[in-house]
Amino acid sequence: MEELSMKETLKAGDERKVEEDFFQYIVIRLGDEQYGIDIRYIDNIVRMQHITRVPKVPAYLKGVINLRGEVLPVMSLRVKMGLEADELTRATRIIILKQEQQGSVGIIVDEVREVVTLGSSEIEKLSQNTAESKKSFITGVGKHNGELISLLDLNSITLEENA
Amino acid sequence: MDVSQYLEIFLDETNEHLQNLNTQILELESDPENMDNINEIFRAAHSLKGMAGTMGYKRMQNLTHDMENVFSEVRNGNIKVKPEMIDVLFQCLDALEEYKNNIQETSDEGTNDNENLIKALNDILNDGKTEEAPAAKEEAPTATAPAAESGADGGEKWNDIAFDDSQIRVIKEAMKQGKNVYGINVVVQESCILKAARAFLVFKAVEEKGEIIVSMPSAQDVEDEKFDKDFTLIVLSDYSLDDIIKSAESVSEIAQVTGAVLELEKTKNYHAEEEAIEPAEEKKEAVAEVKAAEQPKKEEKKPVAAAKAPEKKPANKPVVNRTVRVDIEKLDSLMNLVSELIIAKNSLVAASSNDQGNNSAFNEQIEYLENVTTNLHESVMKVRMVPIESVVVKFPRMIRDLSKKLDKKMELYMSGEETELDRTVVDEIGDPLMHLLRNSADHGLESAEVRAQRGKPEQGSIFLDAYQDGNNVVIEVRDDGNGIDVEAVKNKAIERNLVTTEQAANMSEKDIINLLFQPGFSTSEKVTDVSGRGVGLDVVKSKIESLSGEVEVKSKWGEGSTWTIRLPLTLAIIQALMVVVGGEKYAISLGSIQTIEDISPNDIKLVENKEVINLRGTVIPLIRLTEVLDVESTRSPEDNLIVVIVKKGDKMAGLVIDELIGQQEIVIKSLGKYIKQCKFISGATILGDGEVALILDANALL
């Protein structure tokens, strides 16, 4: 019974949504742009704290932090994406990403805004060609309330580049 | 019978016996007449057979049975020990090992009957033996000494049993029916580990022949190992006393079984029946243990079902066990907790020194806490330490096999087997050591002709020495063989494009020898199945480095080589010196620090454009950590330098730092896989204030 009524309400609201997959993204700000990170890969969001520098590592690796007794590497998303260095403000946060292969890693973002739910119809995948032509960290673009959210490709961000 | 609860102990004991057999047979080979050896082997084989039989591993039992037969004949002097026989025996041990591994993995022994081995054993038997049939089956373990000793007090213990009413009724009833009532005293061997299991088997064996009506201590207590080394049974049976004693003796590790026909009049409390020692309930269990099928009595029939329950119930066994088996994972988590505790303690220390409260009681308690955590840490570390013996004990056998295979005479001399290392390290160190030993046997030792030319004894010697050196454990593999042919190594390296000809010309002998540790390097002209596939030494090196250890080789052409493995004693928590470099805090392991010196800038000399100091006659190169770590020094160049002198093997260096903080116990945390580029950072640690400090690996800086 309940299921039926739910379907009906959904139909009444938006017919397409019945067959749609939904994804939740955390929306972050980096400079003037908005990015979305798939919530399934996020372990934690912590305030900016003292980062211990590690010598002889790529510039985007800012160092390590102590997260409840665990030592975690932290990288600057800005430096990795070729933007100017981080400006630390009160809104700056470190997002801890769960990674299967390499262990957890933290990324520094300017601000964490909100959680949005996007249906697959609201996500526009980037074609392979654009992704290849320039090193891209974006898998697609989501549309939400008239704004565009670039969806981050966490694999290519956390992947080590030895260039 | 449910044996699964004994499986682990069975595997452990099997391991032990197999190892024992390996060692003994090896000794037997060099000294075929040694009766002690033969007896020991016989005993081990016999125990193995008994255990395998108990656990229901028929194939294993058959094989050990035949081995035992052979030894029995050897012991009786009917067969002489011959080299072929030793070979067969070793093959048998390998087969048993295989059974054991199968059992370990699947709790099933597998389906390999090893008929050829059994046949080989029987051939040995038939060859060396005259007509008489092997009497091995009847043989009881030869533990004459303990038997004689316990004979006196083992005496007529059954007369001390205080029977209660119903028991006496049962006994009288049985006597009336013409059954025999025996008192049996069973003495377990002193060395027996699984007393309860042995006793259980005795119970079972005796029950096949009769009915146990009373046991002292009670059946439950016996099962819980709440007995010293003997127990007493009152048995009703149609069989003769000898039969029953024999069936009890058939259980292994039973030292002695004595018995006699019970005379009620002689027993204690015969008239004072009410003074029963055992509570009625326990006695019922004893009665009920009996398989009452053929017994027409009413008393037992009802409790049978009830009695099976307590038999299987997991017993609380607090009494005799002095050791506890612990999953290594549990120890790891304990270790982690201790680490956390030390971090918390460090925070407290930091907090107390910050607010200068001069609260002496508070400081006292912190010192006390410091004491406790340090001791706790040491205890936990000790729990994890095991002697390397468990790894190296298999090597003599391996060298023997290699000796046959390579057709070279060689002998392995080992020392320091009792040296202890962290369990995880011990588990990992076996393969690298095996590689090095095989290397020595195959490449190191020369053929007999070459040895004769060089005036060396025909038999090559390989040494394995382990000892503790400060915070490290050193394991050396040494041989008196060929040594490393530096020229051959050099040519091979050039041929394999590992170095250019010019590079090679400028390399020191030591550098060239170190090329051996490069991946894909093998100088042996022919590839044998012993070594020479070029996968050896680089694997050895990476394995040992993954254990935070290092490996070095020294060699003299024509005289032999020495491989030295150096491993840290502990992996997780170390004493470290905290220093400041360019405003950042770093930790340096105290183990590698020799001294701390105050050096005037005028004392710095230049050698080959590198800074050195002359410290009490030793020239020591300086390493400016500010340069290594890419930071600006906070000290002015005119100030005196603080130099930490570190040592690795015979190499020394002075690390120039900005400030000293002091000594601290630190917990090593990994930097994760993400950051792996920097060689001289061995990890990180969390300081009392929650900050992360990096740990400098002084060895990598040298």
Nearest to B673 among A57, A71, A103 (CB): A103
Q: What topology does CATH give the domain B4-138?
A: Four Helix Bundle (Hemerythrin (Met), subunit A) (1.20.120)
| Percent of chain B with pLDDT strictly greater than 90 | 7
Which residue of A66, A101, A160 is in closest CB contact with B690?
Answer: A66
The pLDDT score that the predictor gives to residue B155 is 54
B689 interfaces chain A, CB cutoff of 8 Å = no
**CATH for A131:** 2.40.50.180
What is B328-386's CATH number?
1.10.287
Residue predicted with more confidence, A51 or B101: A51
Q: Is residue B439 flagged as an active site residue?
A: yes
Beta bridge partners of B641: B599
The domain locations on chain B are 4-138, 144-312, 328-386, 388-568, 573-701
Put simply, whether B684 touches A (Cβ < 8 Å) is yes
* Calpha distance B445→A133 (Å, rounded): 60
Confidence of residue B131 (pLDDT cuts 50, 70, 90): very low
Pairing of strands A123-125, A147-152: unpaired
| Residue B68 known to be catalytic | yes
Residue A3 lies in a domain: no
Q: Is the pTM of this model over 0.90?
A: no
As a whole number of angstroms, the distance between CA B76 and CA B108 comes to 35
Look at residue B322 in the predicted model and tell me its pLDDT.
63
Q: Do A52 and B343 touch (CB under 8 A)?
A: no
Q: Does residue B193 belong to the interface with chain A, where contact is any CB pair within 8 Å? A: no
Domain that holds residue A58: 20-158
The answer to whether position A13 is within a domain reads no
| pLDDT band of B669, cuts 50, 70, 90 | confident
pLDDT of residue B678 exceeding 80: no
Question: In the prediction, which pLDDT does B357 show?
Answer: 59
φ/ψ (deg, to 5) at B402:
-60, -40
Query: Would the ipTM clear 0.85, i.e. be above it?
Result: no
Considering only CB atoms, B692 lies closest to which of A64, A102, A160, namely A64
pLDDT at B579 over 90: yes
Topology of domain B573-701 in CATH is OB fold (Dihydrolipoamide Acetyltransferase, E2P) (2.40.50)
- pLDDT at position B156, please? 64
Q: Which residue has the tokens 């001294």?
A: B595
User: Integer distance in angstroms from the first to the last C-alpha of chain A?
Assistant: 59
The predicted structure's pLDDT at residue B581: 93
Task: Place A94 in a pLDDT band, splitting at 50, 70 and 90.
Answer: very high
Contact B673 A65 (CB under 8 A): no
Domains B328-386 and B388-568 share a fold: no
The second-level CATH assignment, the architecture, of B144-312 is 2-Layer Sandwich (3.30)
B340 interfaces chain A, CB cutoff of 8 Å: yes
Q: B249 an active-site residue? A: no
pLDDT tens for B278-332 read 444 444 444 444 444 444 444 444 444 444 444 444 444 344 446 677 777 888 7
**Which positions in chain A have a beta carbon within 8 angstroms of at least one beta carbon in chain B?**
50, 52-58, 61, 63-66, 69-73, 101-105, 158, 160
Q: How many structural domains does chain A have?
A: 1
Catalytic residue from among B22, B40, B46, B285:
B46
Greater confidence (B409 vs B131) lies with B409
pLDDT at residue B676 greater than cutoff 90: no
Residue-wise pLDDT for B250-260, tens only, equals 777 777 777 77
List the one residue out of B536, B585, B567, B212 whose CA is nearest residue B425: B567
Residue A1 domain flag: no
Nearest to B461 by CA among B476, B485, B444: B444
Alpha-carbon separation of residue B444 from B395, B396, B441, B455, B540 (angstroms): 17, 17, 6, 16, 17
Q: Is residue A163 part of a domain?
A: no
On whether residue A125 sits in a domain, the answer given is yes
Q: Domain spanning B388-568 has what CATH number?
A: 3.30.565.10
Which residues, including other chains, have CB under 8 Å from residue B591's CB and lie 6 or more apart? B470, B471, B472, B568, B574, B575
Task: Give B280's contacts (C-beta < 8 A, 6+ positions apart).
Answer: B164, B166
Predicted confidence at residue B655, as pLDDT, reads 93
CA distance A95 to chain B (A): 16
Percentage above 70 pLDDT, chain B: 79
pLDDT in tens, B16-36: 888 888 888 888 877 777 777
